[in-house]
Amino acid sequence: MINVKKFKNLGKANHGWLNANFHFSFAEYYDRNNMNFGQLRVVNDDLIEPHMGFDMHSHENMEIITYVRKGVIAHKDNAGNKGITKAGEVQVMSAGSGIYHSENNPTDDITNLYQIWIIPNKKNVKPRWDQATFPKTPVSDALPILVSGRAEDADKGALFIHQDAVIYGGNLAKCAEITHPIKYQAYLLLSEGEIEVDGKRLSKGDAAAITEQLSVSIKPLTDAEMLIIDIPSR
């Protein structure tokens, strides 16, 4: 079953420096029928104005993944980690027993990113932060693995999280139709372009919640960029 979530119907909040679009209930946007997708708790599609961002604040017992779609985000935390994540790159923070961090846009251009929160399968782990650059060349057979908590992906260069989940992501050239396998259930985020998912059309910013299927057919109608989060239901 596929449930398409249109960008225009996402929860909205505009704070001037931050224009946020919420896939699930978060902050001032509350919908008791839209709290999460299994162990996927948060997907925020954020636009951050130049030289603005999130000042130092705390998290605990959450796997927080940031995928930068456009621009740059700068990370700094109280564990001594710091780094710059650019468009097409991913950073992961295991908040674990507790961590303070900040994220800011240090440039003169707007930054657009997905912030993704996944509920961990282990609590109070030692906090950690990591980032990686992944190939931007369009693929025609399978999306690369960006993030994974599965043992079988340990040697594939994926960033680690404490959950039996995988985030695939990358670029597909127009008409490069693929069949994507699903272990649990999948949440597809279309970052750029237009695609058909089992015949259902998605445009830039849309999402598709896919349940009770072992695979899904993805047909790009234009060059497209996407993330697919394969996540346990509980």
Q: Scanning the structure block, which residue is given the tokens 């961990």?
A: 120
Q: CA angle, corner 88, sides to 223 and 157, nearest 5?
A: 110
pTM over 0.75? The answer is: yes
Q: What is the tens place of the pLDDT at every residue in 164-214?
A: 999 999 999 998 999 999 999 999 999 999 999 999 999 999 999 999 999
Q: CA angle, corner 162, sides to 167 and 48, nearest 5?
A: 55
Residue 8 vs residues 23, 43, 64, 124, 205: alpha-carbon distances, Å: 11, 15, 24, 37, 9
Q: Return the pLDDT at 131.
A: 95
Cα 144 off chain centre by: 14
Q: Scanning the structure block, which residue is given the tokens 């999130």?
A: 54
Query: How many angstroms separate the CA atoms of 194 and 203, rounded?
Result: 5
Burial of 211 (0-12, 13-18, 19+ CB in 10 A): middle
**What is the DSSP secondary-structure string of 158-210?**
PEE-SSS-EEEEEEE-TT--EEEE-SSEEEEEEEESEEEETTEEEETT-EEEE
Query: How many angstroms separate the CA atoms of 118 and 163, rounded?
Result: 8
Average pLDDT over every residue of 46-65: 97
Q: Which of 122, 211, 225 is nearest to 173 (CA)?
A: 225
Q: What is the tens place of the pLDDT at every residue in 95-138?
A: 999 999 999 999 999 999 999 999 999 999 999 999 998 888 89
For the chain, give every domain's residue range.
Answer: 2-231
Q: What topology does CATH give the domain 2-231?
A: Jelly Rolls (2.60.120)
Q: What is the tens place of the pLDDT at every residue in 132-158?
A: 988 888 988 899 999 999 999 988 889
